[in-house]
Amino acid sequence: MFGLGTPELIVIGVIVFLIFGAKRIPEIGKGLGGAIREFRDARKEISSDTPKQGKKEESEQEASVESKLVKKVVNQVPGVKQVMDVKDKVDKVKELMKS
């Protein structure tokens, strides 16, 4: 699992326990579980919106599903949306500087 062995996972677990405490760990687990569930539901929803076609267009379809999912997540998280707006403005300024 990403090159992490048992000792590394134990150290990470102890650090998380020390930082968040015993009362917060179940809340964090519920939050992560809910986020993963929401991600799966959104992916299923987006993939069901796009009809399946041939094998050639399958990779293009996967890319479009991922881009739609990214847009949905970006719109749901206010901080990320603001950062993406700033990034777009910076990219426009860079294009103007090149001209």
Tens of pLDDT along the chain (99 residues)?
A: 478 888 888 998 899 889 888 888 888 888 878 888 888 888 888 777 665 555 555 666 666 777 777 777 766 666 667 777 888 899 999 889 887
Q: How far apart are CA 16 and CA 19, in angstroms?
A: 5
Residue 57: partners with Cβ closer than 8 Å, 6 or more residues away: none
Provide the token pair at 6. Answer: 């048992």
Q: Summarize the chain as % helix, strand, coil (round to 5).
A: 85, 0, 15
Residue 70 lies in a domain: yes
Mean pLDDT value across the chain:
78
**Parent domain of 77:** 6-98
- Cβ 52 vs Cβ 61: under 8 Å: yes
Domain membership of residue 1 (yes or no) is no
Q: Would residue 81 count as lying in a domain?
A: yes
List, for residues 2-26, the tens digit of each pLDDT value: 788 888 889 988 998 898 888 888 8
Structural domains in the chain (count): 1
C-alpha closest to that of 71 among 51, 95, 88, 92? 88
